[in-house]
Amino acid sequence: MALDRWIALVILMICLAYGYAAFFTMDAGLPPFMQRNPIWPSTFPKVLAVMAVLTSLVIVLGLEKGADDPKPTEINYRRLTEYKLGQAIALLAMMVAYALLLRPAGFLLSTSSFLIFGAVALGERKFLILVPVALFAAVFVWYLVQEVLGIFLRPWPFFMGTGG
For the chain, the straight-line distance linking the first and the last C-alpha, in angstroms and rounded, comes to: 54
> Are both 154 and 113 inside the same structural domain?
yes
- Output the pLDDT for position 75: 64
Task: Find all residues with CB under 8 Å of 122, minimum gap 6, and list them.
Answer: 87, 91
Q: Does residue 78 form part of some domain?
A: no
State which residues of the chain have pLDDT below 70: 1, 65-80, 161-164
Q: Does residue 72 form part of some domain?
A: no
Q: Does residue 80 form part of some domain?
A: no
Domain boundary among 18, 36, 65: 65
> Are both 90 and 138 inside the same structural domain?
yes
- Output the pLDDT for position 31: 77
> Are both 45 and 92 inside the same structural domain?
no
Domain count, the chain: 2
Q: In whole angstroms, what is the distance from residue 156 CA to residue 3 CA?
A: 43
Q: Does residue 145 form part of some domain?
A: yes
> Are both 96 and 146 inside the same structural domain?
yes
- Residue type at 135? L
> Are both 105 and 58 inside the same structural domain?
no
> Are both 89 and 60 inside the same structural domain?
no
Q: Give the structural domain span for 138.
A: 85-160
Q: In whole angstroms, what is the distance from residue 28 CA to residue 35 CA?
A: 10
Query: Could you give the residue ranges of the DSSP H alpha helices within the chain?
Result: 3-20, 43-60, 85-105, 107-121, 127-143
- Output the pLDDT for position 143: 92
> Are both 24 and 89 inside the same structural domain?
no
pLDDT tens-digit readout, 92-102: 999 999 999 98
Q: In whole angstroms, what is the distance from residue 76 CA to residue 82 CA?
A: 10
- Residue type at 29? G
Q: Does residue 75 form part of some domain?
A: no
- Output the pLDDT for position 90: 92
> Are both 59 and 96 inside the same structural domain?
no
Q: Does residue 22 form part of some domain?
A: yes
> Are both 9 and 53 inside the same structural domain?
yes
Q: Does residue 29 form part of some domain?
A: yes
Q: In whole angstroms, what is the distance from residue 137 CA to residue 141 CA?
A: 6
Helix axes 127-143, 107-121, angle to 10 degrees: 140
